[in-house]
Chains A and B, each alone.
Chain A
Amino acid sequence: MRKMRKIYCLYIIVIAILSSCEKDSNSRSSSGGTGVGGSLTKFTISGNYLYAVSSHYLYTVDISNPANPVRTSESELSFDMETIYPFKNSLFVGSKTGLYVYSLDTPSKPKLIGEAKHGRSCDPVIANDSVSYSTLKGNTSCGPATSGLYVYDVRNLNAPELKTTIPINEPIGLGMADSALYVCCAGEGLKMYSIKNPYAPVERKLFTGYHFIDVIPYDNLLICWTEEGIVLYDITDRLLPVFIKKIDN
């Protein structure tokens, strides 16, 4: 009976994903819509709702009337939440103990549907239909897990499956654009991977010279938050970023 219910849930989720038309506006030319945040954010908007995380809470605020926002839920959770990332009908929450997937079938009240636990660490996360990338920083106050890039198969949102890990000393924020994945590695630089095979990223290039913290791929622009300022690259060719400009602090 429980198994039946699980299968039924999965079926609903798959239908929901397939039928979802809501897409994060990734274009600077469109009018209105939402923008794009970095992977370290604790705020995100999906549809008419703003979702925010603090260490132990996930807050949902109905913003259909911006002059009168209304909080629709505040769920207390036991894990230390760090970041939030929306994709279609789901929220991916990175925490110090694992990766959590929330369904937005009832957008006013997100529901926990899947999780993949790992050792204690810090953990921003990004995702698309089939894969989720997460960086864990283990060798800090965050915990003893192995530092690196963690690749999850999320085709079944109820059971994200760890496919591979790539050791990186001090990874922080990350972003992807089509076949490229960009991972900030603090003082070591910005690592670029080809993700033509999404479950087996191949390192292609390292950009050095700045302490990279987080990135936003935005159309053909890669916006990098570094300790030295905001650095912009042209990524018309996703795997061949070209430096444009640094906005000094």
Chain B
Amino acid sequence: MHISRYLLLLTIPVLLQSCWKYRNGGDYIDSQKKEWGYKPVYGTETEAKNILYSPVAEPVINGGNIYAYHDFIFQMETGRGIHVIDNSNSAAATRIGFITVKGCSQISVKDGKIYTNSYDDLVVLGFSSVDKVEVISRLQGVFTEYRYDSPLAQPPGNGYYECPVYDRFVTGWVRDSVYQNCYKN
């Protein structure tokens, strides 16, 4: 009698284990095997949330959403920031700068202010002139689901990756030998 109760107690957690799943859209696989894949790079909150404008064009690597506002076109560099394109003369339109916003994917602009996401935060940026971008406000944790669904929550490519820890800030991904725990296809 006592032994069977003990066995039952042991069995329940084993059964429940199959329910544990990482909420990142990828599949969690319990594996001790290693494979060449992606590994998250973590940054401090200050590093992850630092907004920086550089008046130098950057190459588009993982181009995302586009947005037109007056003489500008913006294009998201998914997870990394915003490309600024001078479109005052379309025949000579060109990228003129880059705003670093980690964990971003979306953009909207109103009255000279850029609204974007940085992880699960809403960030409001002013760009009164082309070379002056300032943070007007940051509303923390407003987009709850972006925490697990942010563009940096998964690696840029397909295949195995080390499952990220979500109470830390993923600032990028590197190729490395990783346990076959998460898979993106």
Residues of A within 8 A of B (CB): 28, 30-38, 40-45, 50, 52, 54-57, 59, 61, 63, 66-71, 74, 141, 214, 216, 218, 221, 223, 225, 227, 229-230, 232, 234, 244-245, 247, 249
Contact = CB atoms under 8 A, between A and B. Distances in A.
Given A37-B65, A61-B139, 7 more contacts: A32-B111, A37-B67, A41-B108, A43-B116, A54-B146, A218-B68, A225-B66
A56 B137 contact: no
Given A54-B146, A54-B149, A244-B91, A216 B124 contact: no
Contact of B93 (A33, A141, A232): A232
Candidate in A42, A43, A52, A67 with the most chain B CB atoms within 10 angstroms: A43
Given A45-B115, A230-B75, A56 B145 contact: yes
Contact of B90 (A30, A52, A216, A245): A245
A232 B126 CA distance: 26
Contacts, number: 141
Contacts of B113: 66
A28 B108 contact: no
B85 interface: yes
B105 interface: yes
Interface string B85-96: 101001111110
B65 to A, nearest CB: 5
22 contacts: A28-B87, A33-B111, A34-B108, A35-B70, A35-B108, A36-B67, A37-B65, A38-B67, A41-B108, A43-B116, A52-B106, A55-B149, A57-B143, A57-B145, A66-B111, A216-B68, A221-B87, A225-B66, A227-B63, A245-B93, A247-B94, A247-B95
B60 A229 contact: yes
A93 B109 CA distance: 20
B112 interface: yes
A30 B73 CA distance: 15
A61 B136 CA distance: 15
A66 B68 contact: no
A33 B117 CA distance: 20
Instruction: Classify the interface of chain B: helix, strand, loop or mixed.
Output: strand
B106 to A, nearest CB: 4
A28 B108 CA distance: 15
